[in-house]
Copies of this chain bind each other. A is one copy, B any other.
Amino acid sequence: MNKRVAIYRKEHFNAAHRLFNPAWDNQQNEKVFGKCALPNYHGHNYDLVVKVTGEPDPETGYVMDMKDLSDIIKREVVERFDHKNLNLDTVEFKNLNPTAENIAVVIYTILRPFIDPAKDLQIRLYETARNFVEYPA
């Protein structure tokens, strides 16, 4: 039988962004991204759920210490993005459009080295309560 358990930890950060492809002019950006491309930015309360899957350690009963997972997320992701302008203040989105999809992939790439390679990692990111994404799918 499958012995693997998934654990989930939820954190959040607040950030400003605009959707903008630097290879396009303003007109093309507004046509494709609508009000999400408005030049002075808007923002979101991002809810971030990180899933780690593996076999629980028989001595602790933990897949991973949730406190350690929370600390890693706060140090590597929340500190980096919270109260920031994703387009202006971060190296990750200088040349990458900060859609929810791209933010999720970036967060996965940031966190992957800090999680035991024997375990799987998945990111769910809520841009609003009604719009959210998951990576890898």
Contacts and interface: CB of A to CB of B under 8 A. Distances in A.
A44 B14 contact: yes
A100 B40 CA distance: 20
A130 interface: yes
Interface in A83-132: 83-85, 88-89, 96-102, 104-105, 120, 128-132
Interface in A22-52: 23, 32-36, 38, 40-45
Interface residues of A, number: 66
Given A61-B98, A66-B131, 14 more contacts: A2-B136, A4-B135, A6-B137, A7-B133, A8-B133, A17-B43, A23-B59, A33-B60, A34-B67, A40-B84, A40-B88, A42-B83, A60-B97, A61-B99
